[in-house]
Amino acid sequence: MQLVTPGLVLREVKVGESDRILTILTPEHGLISASAKGSLRLKSKLFSACGLFCYSEFTLFAGKSMYMVDDAQVKQVFFGLPKSIEGMALAMYLAEIAQALLPSGGEAAAQLRLLLNSLYLISEQKKPLAQIKAVYELRSVCEAGYMPALLCCRSCQKYDGGDFYFDVGAGELLCGDCAEAQGIVPNLDEGALVALRHIALVEDKKVFSFTLSQKSLEKLSRVTERYAAARLDKPLKTLDFLHSVLE
């Protein structure tokens, strides 16, 4: 059976001297594992198109245990990623989140679009890395069905004004007064709260379109990281490395 599909290479594992096993995120079939025979040879027609974070048009054939890459044509390469260890570390972290979410069907298309946009912004240095990280963490798990309740305080229904507390376990908000009444220190200022709602609720094309002070961005990044981690329910190895290069 032949399958022709666009896809983004999220992971590559070297096998022998010249082969690679790829993990590819596709818009209609979700994650696909595929063997790219001879793709590490410089003269191979698959060499460039099967590289990590390359977005390509793949022609695949079903094998006994996985697909085989018969042909691949480059659609987009994010040339700026390898120029920054911080940017590359973030890209690896986002790719690991995508793999952990195991998207399928329409969700896979949304996840692929979000990841491609994120990689473009990293590569072109269009937005702060912390902002790209926060957007991807929250929006990706929202696309996977883990939408938090961000309308108002769960206790008094207050919508805005002052600091709030985002309960990452429950995915709910407490206003500053209700949080302090329960002995909880608020973790969001007004800017971070507005950004949190924006990321979760706005249409796709506007999800990165906001600016924040450094203080608000730091608060936002901390809660989105913890919220995503709670939904993935597994430690991500790339997150420790990302922290090490960003500190």
**pLDDT given at position 234:** 84
For the segment 107-131, what is each residue's pLDDT rounded down to a tens digit?
A: 999 999 999 999 999 999 999 999 9
Can you read off the two tokens belonging to residue 177? 């007064």
The answer to whether 59 touches 69, Cβ cutoff 8 Å, is: yes
> For residue 92, what pLDDT band results from cuts at 50, 70 and 90?
very high
DSSP 83: G
pLDDT of 233 above 80: no
- Residues 151-179, mean pLDDT to the nearest whole number: 98
Rounded to a whole number of angstroms, the CA Rg of the chain reads 20
pLDDT of 247 above 80: no
Class of domain 2-77 (CATH, top level): mainly beta
pLDDT of 104 above 90: no
Can you read off the two tokens belonging to residue 68? 């085989």
Q: What φ, ψ does residue 12 adopt, rounded to 5°?
A: -135, 135
**pLDDT given at position 1:** 84
| Burial class of residue 209 (count of CB atoms within 10 Å of its CB; 0-12, 13-18, 19+) | exposed
Domain locations in the chain as residue ranges = 2-77, 81-148+166-246
For the segment 29-60, what is each residue's pLDDT rounded down to a tens digit?
A: 999 999 999 999 999 999 999 999 999 999 99
Report the mean per-residue pLDDT for the chain: 96
pLDDT of 244 above 80: yes
